[in-house]
């Protein structure tokens, strides 16, 4: 593990690290905040998945999570959103595809399949690596994210209800197989057979029988992507008749930015802490 930076914050440590990842076949960077409580005992771990065009740095620098995470005793891990490097395929003029747009899936199509294995990286390789190097209680895990990361968090939770105790999202893409800004990427990553897309679509997973106890979703009503990409009401419709709980909060005048995320970050951390206690 390479230590890229370490800074003291609220009695804990905010670090940025890199390692050679087998699943993505490149070096991956991730951030970890370790609260002061971790000096005494292993702490619950909360995974934050970022959105399109982002890296680990967006939430680390603008998400305002450290004070509350330190108070609640939560380790917060912020992975990158895609593989990186000169050898990694990309579409330089398409922000919805390639670097910064891994969509937390395992690509099956060329040239993407060699590196774009973000689902395996997030669910298998990085957790094993973090457990090896940090004092985490892997029996108490939660996951959340923003936009594309909200999509990733919800689909991963639905597929691993035995692993995660809590899941929440800021402005998630709840049905990426039909959303304007994700369906094209899904076809390039996964091929034209839309049946293969369903395992990475929260609404489709619920329709196919996947279950998770409850979700918290915050969404800004002034979000420019609300109608074409996010559409949280589709998930609300998908869970009708199931035992899945949903707290969906729609906020006047809030947009898609980190001003929105940072406003409600404390609420999400408290939500997870209560379920990871």
Which residues does the annotation mark as catalytic?
147, 223, 256
Query: What number of CA atoms fall less than 13 Å from residue 173's CA on the CB side?
Result: 28
Question: Phi, psi at residue 42, to the nearest 5°?
Answer: -60, 145
The CA distance from 187 to 172, in Å, is 20
The CA distance from 189 to 116, in Å, is 8
What does the DSSP 8-state code read for residue 39?
G
What does the DSSP 8-state code read for residue 226?
I
DSSP codes of every residue in 36-85 = GGGGTS-EEEEEEE--TT--HHHHHHHS--HHHHHHHT-EEEEE-SS--S
Sign of the C-alpha dihedral, residues 146, 152, 112, 31?
positive
What does the DSSP 8-state code read for residue 191?
-
Q: Which of 52, 49, 33, 75 is nearest to 169 (CA)?
A: 49
Whether 103 and 152 have beta carbons less than 8 Å apart is answered as: yes
């Amino acid at each position: 593990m390479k230590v890229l930076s370490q800074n003291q914050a609220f009695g804990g440590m905010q670090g940025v690290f890199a390692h050679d990842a087998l699943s993505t076949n490149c070096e991956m960077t991730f951030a970890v905040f370790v609260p002061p409580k971790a000096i005494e005992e292993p702490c619950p771990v909360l995974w934050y998945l970022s959105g399109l065009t982002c890296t680990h740095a967006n939430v680390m620098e603008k998400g305002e999570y450290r004070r509350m995470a330190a108070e609640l005793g939560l380790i917060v891990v912020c992975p990158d959103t895609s593989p990186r490097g000169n050898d990694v395929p990309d579409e330089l003029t398409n922000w919805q595809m390639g670097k910064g747009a891994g969509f937390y899936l395992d690509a099956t199509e060329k040239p993407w399949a060699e590196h774009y294995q973000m689902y395996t990286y997030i669910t298998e390789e990085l957790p094993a690596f973090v457990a090896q190097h940090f004092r985490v209680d892997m029996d108490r895990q939660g996951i959340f994210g923003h936009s594309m990361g909200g999509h990733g968090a919800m689909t991963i939770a639905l597929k691993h209800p035995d692993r995660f105790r809590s899941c929440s999202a800021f402005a998630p893409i709840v049905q990426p197989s039909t959303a304007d800004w994700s369906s094209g990427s899904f076809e390039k990553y996964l091929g034209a057979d839309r049946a293969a897309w369903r395992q990475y679509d929260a609404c489709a997973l619920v329709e196919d029988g996947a279950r998770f106890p409850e979700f918290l979703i915050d969404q800004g009503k002034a979000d420019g992507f609300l109608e074409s990409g996010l559409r949280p009401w589709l998930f609300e419709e998908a869970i009708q008749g199931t035992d899945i709980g949903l707290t969906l909060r729609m906020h006047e005048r809030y947009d898609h930015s980190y001003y929105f995320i940072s406003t409600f970050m404390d609420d999400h951390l408290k939500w997870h802490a209560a379920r990871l206690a």
